[in-house]
Amino acid sequence: MHYVFIPGAWHGGWSWHPVGHRVRASGHGATALTMPGLSLGDDPAGLRLSDAVDHIVTEVERRDLRDVVLVGHSWGGIPITGAAHRLGDRLAGLAYFSAFIPLRGQSMAAAMGPMEGFVTDTIAASPDGTIGLDFPTFQQGLMPGEPEALQRVVFDQLMPQPGGYMLDALDVEGVETLGRPITYVLAEDDISLAAPGEELAARVGVRPVLVGGGHEALLTNPDEVAKAILSA
């Protein structure tokens, strides 16, 4: 198998490196992708969700990857859902890690309920159409209880998220219609998901596999996350 890792909002491929190293050590291929607009020096203006989906498909095809398992964290569950429908026989399966699984036509912003207006207004007011994340929100929502020095190291890697990634929605059937194995790995202390993990997993007809840690467990508990992804 070749695992292709897609990060969550504000994150890059770097966030999957600890898990990816362990996947490679187990004898599988591993590639971590950063979505357009989320590398230092990128221009994020005008990017849409379709650009992220296109990037995944293009990179899989350019690298001629086969037996691909798409793995998405958090927001990354949306673009892997879109890409899965376009990879044909290259796709071997999907794994969602504490990830959002969208309903058809539902954007990430819409899924955030009362926060949708804030997200929309923030993006509209931004000169480059992005939405950032401040340190207290990151600290309390994504890495609560972790040492502040570690929180700072991770926070300093983050980039503003292109607004189109949050505002656009997919118009595709659920990935359970593709006939490929699906895994949902849930960090048991995650408090930042837009819906309960059990509910999100049920959208694709599976029950979550629990691992220790919070939303950033791919960084703080990579052994357990890698084991859960590989053993499913």
Stretch 67-79: mean pLDDT = 98
Residue 232 pLDDT > 90:
no
pLDDT digit string, tens, across residues 124-155: 999 999 999 999 999 999 999 999 999 999 99
pLDDT digit string, tens, across residues 149-188: 999 999 999 999 999 999 999 999 999 999 999 999 999 9
Tell me how long the chain is: 232
pLDDT digit string, tens, across residues 23-64: 999 999 999 999 999 999 999 999 999 999 999 999 999 999
The pLDDT of residue 209: 97
Q: How far is residue 187 CA from its own chain's centroid?
A: 13
Q: How confident is the model at residue 220 (pLDDT cuts 50, 70, 90)?
A: very high
Q: Tell me the CATH number for domain 2-231.
A: 3.40.50.1820
**Mean pLDDT across the chain:** 97
Question: What percent of the chain is modeled with pLDDT above 90?
Answer: 97
Q: How many CA atoms lie within 13 A of 194 on its CB side?
A: 25
Which residues, including other chains, have CB under 8 Å from residue 228's CB and lie 6 or more apart?
183, 185, 209, 211
Write down the domain spans for the chain: 2-231
Residue 215 pLDDT > 90:
yes
Tell me the Cα Rg of the chain. Answer: 16
